[in-house]
Chain A
């Protein structure tokens, strides 16, 4: 058997200027009394997207989702769905369904009745409802459990029922409010992939709210990082991770070394950053030409930092230090290296071999190095 590469069009409607977004927020502000939950926010979400709203609790992501569901009305601004203004349309009249964090399964109804609940409220004929319920049960692999009550099934199964119920009416938009927060880690990871499969199969637009950055990175086609009611960056997971717009995003997503400094030389695509007395200048490649003397911050992911016992000869950047701490995670090890000026740099090494003797131990003098393109120069 051989695998052939199939050329598939890249799914990126946000790059297409002619694409019409499914959802548009325009200058939306939401205030609760004096508290501003969402401030002058504009955002477009396209059909078939798996869109993640990511941020710490209280950042306004849930409010944003509840405005899409119809449970909150914006104080000012416009929200359109499919080109239609949906402000003032009650939740039961929107082609939008929501999967609640608590699942909100009706405890007095069976699994099948829960899934049929929304269909019975529509004008679908009775025999079609039964067929649709069976279809949804099969989709979430719960065909045998239709007759059970919610308290008679496991947490993971309840999560699937909630998903099936929200999808049963074939909504234009499915909202998922922290859908996997109640599951344990292993099940959560499995379910993330299942969610992606289901989303791909149905082609429904999904908007997921989560505070778990790994979850957002795994499932989403685009991630919106939020903070204090504002969008900080809206990009694909790769761009968010490799090209964070500012320190907040770099720090919030994944692990990062942030090195504050000033531009001491700038020529063409490269620049040099002076960051501490007695330390060598760091070579980096900023995305735009920066003026000499501008303050900046070099953000480097730990996995892009190498560690060696001898001074590397070919590295663009190399600094000496000693091992302060070692975190062994099984698949990788994280070394905390303290430099002579006290700064701690994190370096990650993949544990390729099972029986290798660890090359470094506590207090060992080491060199950390990284290429000129490894880090991102942030000015914000």
Chain B
């Protein structure tokens, strides 16, 4: 291996080391520590000044107390399960909304596609937080949605949407839609129109051709989109706390409360470590899928 290749490989690896592995190591260390009234609020601390003996003492003080606690209090595993459930359901909802959008984009005339693409990406131009706040204004008791429905005479009493799981799903589907639409669009746009004509020529109706050709061939995009939605939604904090009220149980919120309200950094770190372990499974699956996809295309 020559120097140039070593350098090229070193760049992504040092990125990963500095921005993922080192912070994760710190979080892991804190999760093994005990809470304390101090700054930072945990012991033991990592002190190089005391040399080798200090490091040995630090390791001796580590224990799995926080992880044991996570299994004892059912709040935590309920929050994990609830997060995964919410993530799965929002993934399905995002797919149901996103697929037709991507399909429409891919079938739009050539000159319209860049505009439609722009419209999908456009929300990213404003702050994510502001857009979620905007939903509060839309979904609230006296929000625009209720005003509109009442003005149209569809409902008499304002609907309670804000601070319910429905608001969380609306917020998640809205926020993560581009992550679903773009990979699906990318696969549908590449789809050779001849294949659909061939399927029709061989006796398929248009609908049948869609199920037998378009759907299987867009599978890589669907899988990529699902992972891109599922993985961040599991740890989502902002949307459930702003739109979901106190009734929506998600691990991101627990993490926030432990960290900032309770100032129990070690327990919060333990929650984060377990969350990462839960997410590693789909991430590994995702990478495998991507690899297989690349091999198939070669």
Interchain CA distance A122-B296 in the complex, whole Å: 30
With A102-B192, A104-B192, A108-B217 already in contact, the answer to whether A169 and B203 are too (CB < 8 A) is yes
The distance from the CB of B109 to the nearest CB of chain A, in whole angstroms, is 14
Residues from chain A with Cβ under 8 Å of B197 in the complex: 69, 71, 91, 98, 100, 104
In the bound complex, CA of A97 to CA of B27 (Å): 64
Residue from B199, B203, B204, B217 with most neighbouring chain A CB atoms (10 Å): B203
The minimal Cβ–Cβ distance linking B87 to chain A, given in whole angstroms, is: 28
Q: Of A92, A101, A108, A151, which one neighbours B203 at CB under 8 angstroms? A: A92
With an 8 A cutoff between CB atoms, is A90 at the interface?
yes
| Of B202, B205, B208, the contact of A165 (CB 8 Å cutoff) | B202
Q: Which residues of A contact B200 (CB under 8 A)?
A: 71, 90-92
Per the bound structure, the CA–CA distance linking A92 and B196 in Å amounts to 11
Interface residue? B156 (CB, 8 A):
no
CB–CB A104/B203 < 8 A: no
Question: Which one of A90, A91, A92, A106 contacts B213 once the chains associate, using CB atoms below 8 Å?
Answer: A106
Residue A121 at the chain B interface, CB threshold 8 Å = yes
B198 near A98 with CB under 8 A, answer yes
What band does the interface of chain B fall in when counting residues whose beta carbon is under 8 Å from A?
Answer: 10 to 19
B110 sits at the interface (CB 8 A): no
CB-CB nearest in chain A for B209 = A92
Question: Across the interface, which residues of B come within 8 angstroms of A360, CB to CB?
Answer: none
- B194 within 8 Å of A (CB atoms): yes
The answer for the CA separation of A71 and B201 in the assembled complex, in Å, is: 9
User: Chain B residue with minimal CB distance to A168?
Assistant: B202
Q: Within 8 Å of chain A (Cβ to Cβ): is B195?
A: yes
Separation of A92 and B197 alpha carbons in the complex (Å): 9
Compute how far the CA of A70 lies from the CA of B202 in the bound complex, rounded to whole angstroms: 12
A70 to B204, CA, bound (A): 13
**Pairwise interchain contact A92-B217, C-beta atoms closer than 8 A:** no
B51 at the interface (CB under 8 A from A): no
A211 CA to B208 CA in the complex, in Å? 34
Given contacts A107-B217, A108-B216, A151-B296, is CB(A118)–CB(B194) below 8 Å? no
Q: Say yes or no: is A145 at the interface (Cβ < 8 Å to chain B).
A: no
Mark A residues whose CB is within 8 Å of B: 69-71, 90-92, 96-98, 100-102, 104, 106-108, 117-118, 121-122, 151, 165-166, 169
Tell which of A92, A108, A122 has the most Cβ of chain B within 10 Å: A92
A70 to B296, CA, bound (A): 33
A69-B201, A104-B198 given. 18 additional CB < 8 A pairs?
A71-B200, A90-B200, A91-B201, A96-B201, A98-B197, A98-B198, A100-B197, A104-B194, A106-B198, A107-B217, A108-B216, A108-B217, A118-B203, A121-B208, A122-B203, A165-B202, A166-B201, A169-B202
B213 — which chain A residues lie within 8 A by C-beta? 106
Contact with A along B196-234 (1 / 0, CB 8 A): 011111111100100011001100000000000000000
Q: Which of chain A's residues have a CB closer than 8 A to the CB of B203?
A: 92, 118, 121-122, 169
- Chain B residues with CB under 8 A of A101: 194
Are A102 and B194 CB-contacts (below 8 A) given A108-B216, A108-B217, A151-B296?
Answer: yes
Question: Which residue of A is nearest B205, CB measured?
Answer: A92
The answer for the CA separation of A101 and B192 in the assembled complex, in Å, is: 12
- Chain B residues with CB below 8 A from A117, complex form: 199, 202, 212
CB-based contact B201/A97 at 8 Å: yes
**By the criterion CB–CB under 8 Å, are B199 and A100 in contact?**
no
CB distance from B252 to the nearest CB of A (A): 37
- With A108-B216, A108-B217 given, is the CB distance from A98 to B195 under 8 Å? no
Q: How far is the CA of A117 from the CA of B198 in the complex (A)?
A: 10
Query: In the complex, what residues of B have CB within 8 A of residue A69's CB?
Result: 197, 201
Give the CA-CA distance A245 to B203 in the complex, in Å.
40
Inter-chain contacts of A104 with B (CB < 8 A):
192, 194-195, 197-198
Q: Report the Cα distance A69→B198, complex, angstroms.
A: 10
A-B contact pairs, 25 of them (CB 8 A): A69-B201, A90-B200, A91-B200, A91-B201, A92-B201, A92-B205, A96-B201, A97-B202, A98-B197, A98-B198, A100-B197, A100-B198, A101-B194, A102-B192, A104-B192, A104-B195, A106-B199, A106-B213, A117-B199, A117-B202, A118-B203, A121-B202, A121-B203, A121-B204, A151-B296
Produce 1/0 per residue, B130-156, CB < 8 A to A: 000000000000000000000000000
In the bound assembly, the distance between CA atoms of A121 and B217 in angstroms comes to: 19
Q: How far is the CA of A165 from the CA of B203 in the complex (A)?
A: 12
| Chain B, residue nearest A71 (CB) | B197
Residues in B neighbouring A121, C-beta threshold 8 A: 202-204, 208
Q: Judging by beta carbons under 8 Å apart, are A106 and B201 in contact?
A: no
Bound Cα distance A118, B202 (Å): 5
Instruction: Looking at the assembled complex, report how far the CB atom of B215 sits from the nearest CB atom of chain A, in whole angstroms.
Output: 10
Give the Cβ gap from A321 to chain B, nearest Cβ, in Å: 51
* A96 contact set on B, CB distance < 8 A: 201
- Binary CB contact string for chain B from 164 to 205 against chain A (1 if under 8 A, 0 otherwise): 000000000000000000000000000010110111111111
List 9 A-B pairs, minimum CB-CB distance, nearest first: A121-B203, A118-B202, A104-B198, A104-B194, A91-B200, A92-B203, A108-B216, A102-B194, A98-B201
